[in-house]
Structure 1
C-alpha cells in the first residue's frame, strides 16, 4: 500500500511539473532541479508515511523538505504524536535533520480553519505584490493563526520582507521563519 501511495504522489508531482506555474517555480527556486526533486520525493514519502501511521492524524500534520532538512508542522493531541512524526521524518532516506513546529491541538473559537485560510490568502497576496520577494520560494503555513515560513530565499533582506509582510496582516498572532538564505 505504501508503494502505491508513493507511486501516486510521484505521478502527481510529475504531472504537476508540466504546468507553467510549476516551471516558473522551479526556475526561480534557489535549489538545483535535482535537489528540488529529491526534496519533493522525501516530502511525499514523509506524507505517505503520515497517512499510513495509526498515531498520526494526517490532517493535523504537514511536512516539507528543503536541502534534506525536514520540517514537521501542525497540531498534536499528545507528545507521542510529535515524537512519531519526527521518527517518521528521520527514517526517510536522505533526510539529514528534522525541525518541528507543533502546537497542542485545541478548539479555538477565535482562530479556526477559515481564519487560517483567510490569513494565508492575505499573506500570499502581500508576498506576490512585493517585487523584491520571490513569493514561490516562501512556503507559507498558518497554524492556529500563527504563520510559519519555510523555504530558501535569495537574501536575508528578502526573508525579512516576507516576515514583515506577515506581521502586518491583522489577525496574525506570531510569525516563525525557517527561511534560509541560499549559499
Structure 2
C-alpha cells in the first residue's frame, strides 16, 4: 500500500516538472516583451555598426581629399617655380642678344619677363633701334611676345656729367620706393634720361601707380615722370 502511494507521488512530481517546463517555454515563445527587447538590441547594434562605418568612410574621404589637395598644391608650386625659372632664363638670353647686337646700345635698356612676355623699357638713340630691339627680343627661344616701352633719347650727345646725374636720380628714386609703405619697390624698374624718369613693372593697384609717380616726382633733379606701370590682372 505504501509502495503504490510513493509511485503516485513521484508521477505527480514528474508531471508537475514537465508542465512547469512547458509553461516556461510557452511564456518565452509568446512573451512580446522578450521579443521587443531582442529586436531593440539588434537595432542598436546595427545602428552602432552603421555609425562606425560612416565615421570610418568620412575619415577616409577626408584623408583622400587632403592628399589630393596637397598634391594639387605641390603641382601648382612646381609649375609656378618652373615658370619663374624659365622667365629668368629668357631675360638672360634677351639681354645677351641685345648686347651682341651692334646696332643697339643696350646699356639703357631694361628687360623683364613674366610668363614668357618680355617687357623692354629704357632709352635708345632712335626709333630704328627700338624696332630692332623688339625684333631681337622676339626671336629668343621661349619668348611669347614683346611689350615695347622703349623711348628715344631727347639728346643723343648726353655728357658724362648728365649721365652721372641720371644715375644718381635713378638710385635716389629706387631708394625712395624701397622706403615707401605703398610702392612695391622691388617690382618697379626705374630708368632716367636727362632727368626724365621712366617707371615700368607690375603693381597691385591704382594707388600704387599714383604713389610711385608722386614719389619719383619728389626726388631732386627729376624733370618729369613717364609712368608705364601696369596693374596686375586678378
Give the TM-score of the pair, scaled to structure 2: 0.57
How far apart are residue 66 of structure 1 and its match? 3.4
User: Residue 83 of structure 1: which of 118, 131, 150 is its match?
Assistant: 131
CA contact (8 A) 1:111 1:144 kept: no
CA contact (8 A) 1:66 1:152 kept: no
Q: Deviations over 1:31-82 (max 9, x none)?
A: x544433332221111111122222223243322234332323443444322
More helix by share: 2
When Rg is computed on C-alpha atoms for both structures, the one with the higher figure is 2
Matches of 1:77 and 1:127 in 2, distance apart?
28
Bigger relative contact order (CA 8 A; separation at least 6): 1
SS in 2 for 1:113: helix
CA contact (8 A) 2:122 2:198 kept: no
SS in 2 for 1:170: coil
- Partner of residue 53, structure 1: 101
SS in 1 for 2:111: strand
- Give the alignment's Cα RMSD to 1 decimal: 2.4
How far apart are residue 151 of structure 1 and its match? 1.6
- Larger CA deviation: 150-159 vs 97-106: 97-106
Matches of 1:110 and 1:171 in 2, distance apart?
16
Cα 1:85–1:135 change in 2 (3 A) is same
How far apart are residue 119 of structure 1 and its match? 0.6
1:122 aligns with 2:172: yes
- Partner of residue 167, structure 1: 217
User: Residue 92 of structure 2: which of 28, 37, 44 is its match?
Assistant: 44
Report how many residues are paired.
152
Give the TM-score of the pair, scaled to structure 1: 0.70
